Amino acid sequence: MKRIAIIGSGHLGQQIAYHIHHDSSDKVVAFFDEFQPLNTIIDQIPVIGGNQDVITKYQQNEFDVILIAIGYKHLDAKKELFQNLEGKVPFHTFIHSSCYRDQSASIGQGSVIYPGCVIDQNVTIEDNVLMNISCTVAHDTVIGKHSFLSPSVAIAGFVNVKEQCIIGINSTIIDNITMTAKTQIGGGGVVIKDIDEPGLYVGNPVKFIR
C-alpha cells in the first residue's frame, strides 16, 4: 500500500481520493492546501500543510508519493508545483482499473486517468496530465505535460497536443493535428486543422475567440 498525499483539497482532489480508495489498495493520507486551515478534515483526510510544507512532510515520512489536484483554470500553478517537486518528492501515477491501456502506451509520473478511458497503441501521456472520464486517445498520439482532458474527449491518431492544453468536454480532434501549448478547446469543439497560436477556440470547426 502506498500512502498518497494530494495537493489541493477541493472537488478535484476529493474526486481523485475517492477513485483511489474505491479502486486500489493505496490510501490518501493527507491533503496539502494553501486555502484550508491546518488540521482541517475533509472526507476523513487531514490537511497537514500548504504547498511549502510538502518536501518537509515527505522527509518526515508523512507520506510516500504525491499527486497534484489543481484544475484547468490554474495550469501555470500546476506546472510550477510539479517542477518545484520533481526529483525531490516521488509522484504517484493513478490509472483506474476500468481503463483500457495498450501495453505499448506510456503514461508519465503524476498523471491521473479517470474511469473508462481508452489509451491506444503507442500513445504517450506525458507527466502531470489529467484525463477525465471516458476519454479516448488513439494510436501514436502525444498528450503534453500538465494538460487537462475533460470528460468524453475523443482524439484521433498521430495528434500532438503540446503542454498545458485544456480540451473541453465532448471535444473531437481529428488525426494528424498539432496543437500548440496553452491552447483551450471549448466544450463540443471539433478540431480539423493545426492550431499554431495559443488561446481559446470554440465551435464546429473550432475558431479562435481570444
pLDDT digits (tens, 9 = 90+) for 109-128: 999 999 999 999 999 999 99
- Catalytic status, residue 22: no
56 and 102 belong to one structural domain: no
Looking at residue 67, its pLDDT comes to 98
How many separate domains does the chain show?
2
99 and 169 belong to one structural domain: yes
101 and 50 belong to one structural domain: no
Is 13 known to sit in a ligand binding site? no
Q: pLDDT confidence of 52, banded at 50, 70, 90?
A: very high
- Rounded CA-CA distance 110/94 in Å is 8
Domain hosting residue 160, numbered range: 94-199
- Rounded CA-CA distance 170/172 in Å is 7
Q: Could you say which of 19, 74, 96, 139 is catalytic? A: 139
Residues 6+ apart with CB under 8 A from 73: none
Query: Which of 67, 85, 103 is a domain's end point?
Result: 85
Kindly state whether residue 168 falls inside one of the protein's structural domains: yes
Q: What is the mean pLDDT of residues 85-107?
A: 98
* CATH at 44: 3.40.50.720
Looking at residue 183, its pLDDT comes to 98
75 and 116 belong to one structural domain: no
Q: pLDDT confidence of 58, banded at 50, 70, 90?
A: very high
Asked whether the beta carbons of 69 and 7 are under 8 A apart, the reply is yes
The partner residues of 200 in beta bridges, in order of sequence, read 184
Asked whether the beta carbons of 158 and 176 are under 8 A apart, the reply is yes
Is 45 known to sit in a ligand binding site? no
Q: pLDDT confidence of 97, banded at 50, 70, 90?
A: very high
Model confidence, pTM: 0.96
Is 169 known to sit in a ligand binding site? yes
Q: What is the mean pLDDT of residues 157-171?
A: 98
